[in-house]
Structure 1
Amino acid sequence: MSVITRNKSEVTLLLLHAIIGGVLFTVPFSAMLYSLVIVIVTFYFIFSAKDKTYAILVSAAYLAASDVFLRMTGGLVFYELHKYLLIIFAVIGTIYSLDSSKGFIYLVCAALLLVGVVFTEYNVTESARKMIMFNLSGAISLCFFAFFCFKKQISLQQLNKVLFYALLPIVAMLVYMFLYTPDLKSVITGTASNHKASGGFGPNQVATILGFGVFILMTRLLLHKFKKTQLIVEFSLLALVTFRGLATFSRGGIIAAFVATIVFMLLIYFRGNIHVVRKIFKMIFFFVIAGVGVWFYTVSQTSGMIENRYLNKNAAGVEKADITTGRGDLIAIELQAFFENPIFGIGVGKSKQYRLDRTGTLAASHNEMSRLVSEHGVFGIVSFLILFLTPLLLRLQVRNNIYFYSFFLLWLLTINHSAMRIAFPSFIYGLALLDVTYENKKNKISVSK
Structure 2
Amino acid sequence: MIKSLLLNRYPLVWIIFHILLGLSATFSPFPLIIWFYLVILTSAVYLIRKTPSPTILFAVLLYLVSFELLARMAKTSPYIPYELGKYLFSAGMIWGILRYQTGGKAGWVMLMCLLPALFIDFSGKVTQADLVFNVLGPLNVALVVVFFYHQKIHVKHFASLIRLMIYPILGVLSYSIIKSPDFDQVEFALGANVDWSGGFGSNQVSTLFGLGALLMFILMINRWVFSGIFLLDALILFGLSFQGLLTFSRGGMLGAVLGIFIILLYLRTANLKSRIKYQLPKVGKYVIPAILVGVMAYLVVDELTSGMLSLRYTGETAGTLQGTKVKSLNTVTTGRLEIFLGDVDLWLDHFFIGVGAGASGFLRETMHGTVAHVELSRLLAEHGLFGFIYFLILCYLGWKLVAEHPNPMIRGILVAFFAVAIYTTFHAAMRTFVTPALVGLSLLAVQIPKTTPARLPRRNIKNTKVLVPVK
State whether residues 188 and 197 of structure 1, in contact with CA within 8 Å, keep that contact through their aligned partners in structure 2.
no
2:391 maps to which residue?
384
1:304 to partner: Cα distance:
2.8
1:289 to 286, 289, 292: 292
1:371 maps to which residue?
378
**Residue 335 (str. 1) matches residue 334 (str. 2):** no
- Letter of the 1:342 counterpart: F
1:36 to partner: Cα distance:
3.4
**Residue 233 (str. 1) matches residue 232 (str. 2):** yes
- Letter of the 2:253 counterpart: I
1:3 maps to which residue?
none
| Structure having the higher Rg | 2
Distance 1:189 1:349, change over 3 A: same
- Structure 2 segments unaligned to the other structure (5+ residues): 1-6, 453-466
More deviation in 249-258 or 76-85?
76-85
- Letter of the 1:434 counterpart: L
Taking structure 2 as the reference length, what is the TM-score of the superposition?
0.85
1:10 to partner: Cα distance:
1.8
- Structure 1 segments unaligned to the other structure (5+ residues): 1-5
- Letter of the 2:121 counterpart: T
1:309 to 312, 329, 333: 312
Distance 1:122 1:169, change over 3 A: same
Distance 2:343 2:34 in 1: 40
Taking structure 1 as the reference length, what is the TM-score of the superposition?
0.89
- Letter of the 2:386 counterpart: F
Instruction: Provide the alpha-carbon RMSD of the alignment.
Output: 2.7
3-state DSSP class of the match of 2:311?
Answer: helix
Which structure carries more helix by proportion?
1
1:323 maps to which residue?
332
State whether residues 185 and 303 of structure 1, in contact with CA within 8 Å, keep that contact through their aligned partners in structure 2.
no
1:154 maps to which residue?
153
Distance 1:251 1:328 in 2: 15
Choose between structure 1 and 2 for higher RCO, CA contacts under 8 A separated by at least 6 residues: 1
Distance 1:267 1:180 in 2: 39
Deviation readout 1:99-157 (Å, 9 max, x if unpaired) = xx11122112112101111223563xx45211110000011111112210011000111
1:14-163 alignment, distance < 5 Å: 14-47=15-48, 50=51, 52-77=53-78, 78-98=81-101, 101-120=102-121, 123=124, 126=125, 128-163=127-162
More deviation in 137-146 or 112-121?
112-121
Distance 1:224 1:323 in 2: 37
Distance 1:393 1:311, change over 3 A: closer
Identical positions, percent: 25
State whether residues 208 and 254 of structure 1, in contact with CA within 8 Å, keep that contact through their aligned partners in structure 2.
yes
State whether residues 49 and 55 of structure 1, in contact with CA within 8 Å, keep that contact through their aligned partners in structure 2.
no
**Residue 300 (str. 1) matches residue 303 (str. 2):** yes
State whether residues 312 and 320 of structure 1, in contact with CA within 8 Å, keep that contact through their aligned partners in structure 2.
yes
3-state DSSP class of the match of 2:343?
Answer: helix
State whether residues 32 and 76 of structure 1, in contact with CA within 8 Å, keep that contact through their aligned partners in structure 2.
no
Distance 1:106 1:19, change over 3 A: same
**Residue 411 (str. 1) matches residue 421 (str. 2):** yes
1:375 to partner: Cα distance:
0.5
Q: How many residues align?
A: 433
